[in-house]
Amino acid sequence: MISVDKSALFDYTLLPNAFIDSYLAGTDGDFIKVYIYLLRSSETDKASLETAYICEALDMSESTVLEALKHWEAEGLLELFRTGGKLSGIRFLSPSKAAKAREKHRLTTERVRQLKKEDADARQLVFLAENYFGRPLTAGELGTLLYLHDKLGFSVDLCDYLLEYSVSHGAKNMKYVETVALAWHEEGITTVETARAHSKIKTNPSSPGNEESQRPKSASKNDFLNFDQHNYDMKELSRKAKAKGKADGSD
């Protein structure tokens, strides 16, 4: 009698096809590593783990790991549970459902190309967003950003404030921008003034206070992401964006 041991053949981690199809392109490599490691850990006795384990396994800082978790939460792929302000649990959500929901608020590649060629405001928005995020936008992010301008009617000034608002809350990702924009649109917010007043109420509904007191200080720490936040010179960014839009339009 010959015994056959095939246990080694089943030592693998399944990666959803929808994740490969919709999220590999344009996503930070470290974020992808964290997602895959979480999948790997969910199949072992390390289903209960600390962020320190992930940091050690991936040779990654804790701030990067936490930023990755927040990114996947914003994308709708993870549900994060917190107890006493600290991360206490993670649940995987369907990548296919999240991808379908994301496509609802995104322009086609052809429309994006047309706007970038013919619309100076669109070029200005792309310039502003890339300055706020500190990196080039992916094709998907371009489609979402220009959807806000083209379909929801957000002005350059309103998008400018929206981007500033998102970054000041530690969210340099288009999913957060989209979520806030859709909420504003639903509430009929069409100007910077109404958006600013709405944001102030959301921040501290019991005290109108001074607007500046509601906004983050320069180089303040974000408790969840643990990275420095910065204030931005809005006038200078807008000036550069306008110049960029005109220059690109004259090419």
Q: Are residues 186 and 70 located together in one domain of the fold? A: no
- Of 57-66, 76-85, 91-100, 197-206, minimum mean pLDDT range: 197-206
CA distance 30 to 67: 10
Shared domain for 233 and 148, answered yes or no, is yes
Domain-embedded: residue 8: no
Q: Is residue 3 part of a domain?
A: no
Question: Looking at residue 150, what is its pLDDT?
Answer: 94
Mean pLDDT of 18-33: 88
pLDDT bin (cut points 50, 70, 90) of residue 44 is low
What CATH number did the domain enclosing 82 receive? 1.10.10
pLDDT reported for residue 211: 39
Are 129 and 206 found together in one domain? Answer: yes
* 87 and 142 assigned to the same domain: no
Q: How many domains does the chain have?
A: 2
Please report, for residues 17, 40, 233, the alpha-carbon distance to residue 12 in angstroms, rounded to integers and kept in the order given: 15, 8, 49
- Predicted confidence at residue 175, as pLDDT, reads 83
At residue 108, the 3 state secondary structure works out as coil
Q: What average pLDDT score do residues 237-246 get?
A: 59
pLDDT, average across residues 42-57: 77
Percent of the chain with pLDDT over 70: 73
Same domain, 227 and 136: yes
Mean pLDDT, the chain, rounded, equals: 79
Q: Is the pLDDT of residue 157 over 90?
A: yes
User: Where among 76, 100, 124 does a domain terminate?
Assistant: 100
pLDDT for the residue numbered 236: 60
pLDDT for res 218? 37
Gap between the Cα atoms of 226 and 223, Å rounded: 5
Residue 38 in any domain: the answer is yes
Phi and psi torsions of 12, nearest 5°: -145, 170
Q: Give the separation between CA 233 and CA 213, rounded to whole angstroms.
A: 18
Spacing of C-alpha 108 from chain mean position: 20
Is position 5 within any domain?
no
Same domain, 127 and 236: yes
- Given this model, what pLDDT does residue 229 score? 37
In a domain, 2, yes or no: no
**Average pLDDT for residues 192-202, to the nearest whole number?**
85
- Final residue before a domain boundary, out of 50, 79, 100: 100
Examine the domain organization and report whether 61 and 137 are in the same domain.
no
Tell me, yes or no, whether 50 and 164 share the same domain: no
Reply yes or no on whether the pLDDT at 148 is more than 90: yes
Report how far apart, in Å, the C-alpha atoms of 206 and of each of 29, 194, 201, 229 are. 42, 18, 8, 25
Q: What is the pTM of this model?
A: 0.53
Can you point out the beta strands (E) in the chain? 78-83, 86-92
Q: Which domain holds residue 78?
A: 13-100
DSSP structural state of residue 82: E
In a domain, 6, yes or no: no
Q: Domain ends where: 48, 73, 100?
A: 100
Per the model's pLDDT, the better-predicted residue between 210 and 169 turns out to be: 169
**How many CB atoms within 10 Å of residue 66?**
21
Residue 140 lies in a domain: yes
* Claim to verify: residue 201 and residue 215 sit in the same structural domain: yes
**Are 209 and 230 within one domain?**
yes
110 and 90 share a domain?
A: no
Percent of the chain clearing pLDDT 90 (strictly above): 40
Residues 108-124 have pLDDT tens digits of 888 999 999 999 999 99
49 and 136 within one domain: no
User: Is 7 within a domain?
Assistant: no
Tell me the per-residue pLDDT of 212-227, one tens digit each, with 9 for 90 and over.
Answer: 333 333 333 333 333 3
